[in-house]
Amino acid sequence: MGILTRLGVKSIPLSIIETAVFFVFTAGYFYGPQAVFSNWWRENAEVRNTARDKARDAAKQDALQGGATQEEADKAGAKAADAVGPAKVASKSLPVWMWIALGIVYLLIVTVWWIPGDEEANRKELIALAIVASATAVAVCAIYWHEVLGVAKTFYDIMATGGGRTSS
């Protein structure tokens, strides 16, 4: 089922390690491109917004020195800033098309990594997957226990009230 199986290794402890490595790979695969893109976008936004501020300040200064009113100077500053380009927000997610491309490539990686093997290897890989998934779920619950309890309470409240419906 996994890469270790193709290498002839059929061990539950090694399969657990392989599955854990794949979980870490998955997290990095989806976090890495987003982090790189966010940093690039933030730097780009800072450069653009700094250039806009400089152009606005210079145009306002020139207008005020030329005898314009504060309102006219503000308009001239805004026009100069807009000539540089539109303002950019400092944070942005990957474009949708990039998420789709990442998803398609990830499905190809999963398909190649977890090709089914013989019955014994599949069983050991499935046990390893269950152990790692359970350990990950327990770790997430331990780290975010307050949020998990809030969601569980909300779910209980919805179920106890019949989905929020009231009877007449």
How much is the pLDDT for 87?
A: 83
Residue 168 lies in a domain: no
* Coil vs helix vs strand at 116: coil
Buried b (16+ CB within 10 A) or exposed e, 26-63: eeeeeeeeeeeeeeebeeebeeebeebeebbeebbeeb
How far separated are the first and last CA of the chain, in Å rounded? 56
Number of domains comprising the chain: 1
Answering whether pTM is above 0.85, one says: no
**Higher local confidence (pLDDT), 27 or 89:** 27
Sign of CA dihedral 41, 43, 45, 48: negative
Residue 61 lies in a domain: yes
| Over residues 111-133, mean pLDDT | 82
Residue 65 lies in a domain: yes
Question: What residue numbers bound the domain in which 149 lies?
Answer: 3-160
How much is the pLDDT for 129?
A: 86
Q: Residues 6 or more apart from 79 whose CB is under 8 A from it?
A: 59
Q: Confidence class of residue 14 from pLDDT cuts 50, 70 and 90? A: confident
How much is the pLDDT for 29?
A: 94
**Per-residue pLDDT reduced to its tens digit, 49-104:** 899 999 999 998 888 888 888 888 888 888 998 888 888 877 778 889 999 999 99
C-alpha separations of 119 from 1, 4, 13, 56 in Å:
9, 14, 18, 70
Share above pLDDT 90 across residues of the chain, in percent, rounded to a whole number? 21
Q: Confidence class of residue 168 from pLDDT cuts 50, 70 and 90? A: very low
Q: Confidence class of residue 165 from pLDDT cuts 50, 70 and 90? A: low
How much is the pLDDT for 166?
A: 54
d(CA 46, CA 5) in angstroms, rounded, equals 49
Tell me the pLDDT of the chain averaged across its residues.
85
How much is the pLDDT for 167?
A: 52
Residue 167 lies in a domain: no
